[in-house]
């Protein structure tokens, strides 16, 4: 399914949801009684569709404004649709019990719940967390290493150069030795991100050991993965795709291609116990296997942690680990909620994040 077709379907669903939201809320708000008040409810999903279908046709400023306005509206419709079930029960109860004010009062209350949920989601989506962890290891590393992991930047209709600059500032404030980017660096259109110059902001990441990356489904879906890789490797970002490479004399990094659109023919190697072994992929498909094959650190993204409660209930069923950082035997496993997002500028319950892991050597009694 192409992205354009996907957004056409999403726009149609938005139109249906907007009609249902209008139908529900007009029982509580007299201002919505005239039929023509339905018109703005139907215009907003069309703005969302226009921004995403016309991503490479409309001027970038118009795309960004429409994407935010339409995306926020679609979030409001999403929560209104979830609340519609509660409204239906109260409407029936009001009919049976002859409480004529129950449904109108419910509509007013549910409207403010939907607005509050959407507003909190918009706030969370632009206020990322920094999650910090420490891995203490007997591996013979000469010093501590600070590794920063960030995934799902999604440069595109919603986020551009200013967003990229703030991201890099946050990364550099952590003074990382090494940075790993977990895929989905662009959101559907490499051309849009290149024309805007948003990817150029990544050039200023400071990490003496290096900046490494893997491919995500959004990077590859439109067939521009190789162009993106070439573009970013000129900035010094090293892609690790279906290979295992030495970072230095004591650290090795394995990176997999995207599970959906990449090649799955790479056999994950068993790692030497004397090395500090890192594993990164976009979609968290090999968490358990990485632990079994001797890796010390595992990183993935993709899931967004469900992005909007209660969608997290779905991702929890889809993956062994859908977000968070957990010890799995001798391995510390991180699945990030991602730094950016796609489609809707809303995160409720699962804010964006940057993950910082400090690896510290445990010295024996002789200090070795």
CATH number, domain with residue 196:
3.60.21.10
Of the candidates 317, 316, 283, 309, the one whose C-alpha atom is nearest the C-alpha of residue 298 is 283
Does residue 238 sit within a domain? yes
Q: Cα–Cα distance between 253 and 248 in angstroms, integer?
A: 10
Q: Which two tokens stand for residue 269?
A: 């190697």
**3-state DSSP call for residue 238?**
strand
Q: Cα–Cα distance between 53 and 47 in angstroms, integer?
A: 10
Work out whether the CA dihedral 160, 162, 165, 171 comes out positive or negative.
negative
233 and 293 belong to one structural domain: yes
Which of 84, 103, 125 is a domain's end point? 125
Does residue 336 sit within a domain? yes
Strands (E), 22-150: 129-137, 145-150
The count of other CB atoms within 10 Å of the CB of residue 170 is: 15
Does residue 367 sit within a domain? no
66 and 159 belong to one structural domain: no
119 and 166 belong to one structural domain: no
Does residue 156 sit within a domain? yes
Task: Give the chain's residues under pLDDT 50.
Answer: 365-368
pLDDT at residue 236, as a whole number: 94
Q: Cα–Cα distance between 190 and 187 in angstroms, integer?
A: 8
* Half-sphere exposure of residue 168: CA atoms within 13 angstroms, side-chain side: 17
Domain count, the chain: 2
Of the candidates 195, 189, 206, 196, the one whose C-alpha atom is nearest the C-alpha of residue 162 is 196
119 and 77 belong to one structural domain: yes
236 and 343 belong to one structural domain: yes
pLDDT at residue 364, as a whole number: 55
Cis peptide before 310 (omega within 30 of 0): yes
285 and 249 belong to one structural domain: yes
Does residue 368 sit within a domain? no
166 and 43 belong to one structural domain: no
Domain enclosing residue 86, as ranges: 3-125
pLDDT at residue 55, as a whole number: 87
Of the candidates 224, 185, 180, the one whose C-alpha atom is nearest the C-alpha of residue 201 is 185
Does residue 337 sit within a domain? yes
pLDDT at residue 1, as a whole number: 59
**3-state DSSP call for residue 278?**
strand
267 and 341 belong to one structural domain: yes
234 and 320 belong to one structural domain: yes
Which of 125, 146, 165 is a domain's end point? 125
243 membership: H or E segment, kind and range: strand 243-246
Q: Cα–Cα distance between 22 and 330 in angstroms, integer?
A: 54
90 and 183 belong to one structural domain: no
Q: Which two tokens stand for residue 134?
A: 């420490």
150 and 252 belong to one structural domain: yes
pLDDT at residue 367, as a whole number: 44
Which of 106, 125, 144 is a domain's end point? 125
pTM: 0.94
214 and 313 belong to one structural domain: yes
Does residue 7 sit within a domain? yes
pLDDT at residue 234, as a whole number: 95
What's the chain's average pLDDT? 94
Does residue 366 sit within a domain? no
């Amino acid at each position: 399914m192409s992205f354009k077709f996907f957004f056409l379907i999403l726009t149609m669903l938005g139109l249906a949801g907007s009609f249902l939201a209008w139908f529900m809320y007009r029982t509580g708000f007299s201002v919505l009684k005239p039929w023509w008040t339905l018109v703005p409810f139907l215009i907003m999903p069309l703005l969302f569709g226009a921004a995403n279908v016309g991503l490479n046709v409309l001027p970038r400023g118009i795309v960004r404004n429409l994407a935010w306005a339409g995306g926020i509206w679609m979030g409001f419709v999403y929560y209104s649709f979830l609340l519609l079930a509660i409204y239906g029960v109260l409407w029936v109860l009001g009919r049976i019990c002859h409480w004529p004010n129950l449904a109108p009062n419910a509509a007013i209350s549910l409207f403010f719940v939907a607005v509050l949920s959407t507003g909190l989601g918009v706030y969370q989506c632009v206020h990322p967390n920094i999650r910090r962890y420490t891995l203490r290891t007997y591996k013979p590393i000469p010093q501590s290493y600070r590794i920063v992991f960030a995934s799902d930047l999604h440069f595109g209709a919603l986020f551009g150069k200013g967003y990229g600059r703030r991201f890099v500032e946050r990364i550099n404030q952590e003074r990382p030795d090494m940075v790993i980017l977990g895929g989905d660096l662009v959101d559907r259109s490499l051309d849009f991100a290149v024309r805007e110059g948003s990817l150029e902001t990544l050039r200023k990441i400071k990490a003496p050991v290096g900046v490494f990356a893997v491919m995500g489904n959004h990077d590859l879906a439109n067939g521009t993965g190789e162009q993106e890789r070439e573009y970013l490797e000129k900035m010094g970002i090293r892609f690790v795709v279906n290979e295992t490479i030495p970072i230095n004399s004591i650290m090795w990094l394995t990176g997999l291609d995207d599970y959906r659109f990449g090649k799955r023919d790479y056999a994950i190697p068993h790692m030497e116990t004397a090395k500090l072994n890192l594993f990164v992929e976009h979609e968290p498909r090999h968490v358990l296997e990485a632990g079994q094959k001797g890796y010390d650190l595992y990183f993935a993204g993709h899931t967004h942690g469900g992005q909007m409660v209660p969608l997290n209930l779905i991702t929890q069923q889809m993956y062994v680990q859908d977000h968070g950082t957990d010890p799995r035997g001798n391995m510390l496993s991180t699945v990030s909620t991602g730094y950016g997002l796609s489609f809707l500028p809303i995160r409720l319950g699962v804010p964006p994040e940057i993950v910082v892991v400090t690896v510290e050597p445990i010295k024996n009694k002789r200090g070795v």
